[in-house]
Amino acid sequence: MTNKSSLKVSVDLGKNRLTIVLTGSIAKKELESLYTEIRFGVADLKPGFAMINDLTGCKLGYLSGLGTFTKIREYLQFKGAGVIIRVIGKRSLIAEQLTRIVDRKTDYEVVYVSNREEADRVLTERGQSVA
């Protein structure tokens, strides 16, 4: 049985928002592709942009991808990320990995929520449109 994974990156310039959806078990090669897509997506966003990172369908991030996760974090900091909303559902292994290893040294705020509706509520409370 093969494990299907997918990475989806979208940008909403009107909302100044980057959305990333990860599903399955994400290998280092896929993370490198994600990093490239993030760089292209963030290029047109203004500093202070919000990001929704939906990990509810993501089962695992391999430790070999840790360097790439760190590279993504550093790039988001460099580009002036505002708030990062991580949608994790039930506390997953990937969420634990990100919390313990990657999110420790950030200049942006990371908020963990359990679903997309909660992510929208947090952004609305912060004055960012969700429509």
How far is 79 from 55, CA to CA, in rounded Å?
22
The domain that contains 40 carries what CATH number?
A: 3.30.750.24
Position 131 in a domain: no
Instruction: Please say if the pLDDT value at position 50 is more than 70.
Output: yes
Give the confidence band of 122 by pLDDT, cuts at 50, 70, 90. Answer: very high
Cα end-to-end span (Å), the chain: 39
pTM of the model: 0.81
pLDDT digits (tens, 9 = 90+) for 10-22: 999 999 999 999 8
* pLDDT in the model for residue 1: 41
Q: What is the pLDDT of residue 98?
A: 62
Over range 63-67, report the average pLDDT.
72
* Domain-embedded: residue 38: yes
In a domain, 25, yes or no: yes
Q: Which two tokens stand for residue 23?
A: 């599903």
Structural domains counted in the chain: 1
The full 3-state SS of 7-42, as one line of letters, equals EEEEEECCCCEEEEEEEEEECHHHHHHHHHHHHHHH
The number of CA neighbours under 13 Å toward the Cβ of 33 is 11
Domain for residue 130, yes or no?
A: no
> 61 lies in which domain range?
6-125
- Give Cβ neighbours of residue 17 (< 8 Å, ≥ 6 apart): 11, 45, 49, 50, 51, 52, 123, 128
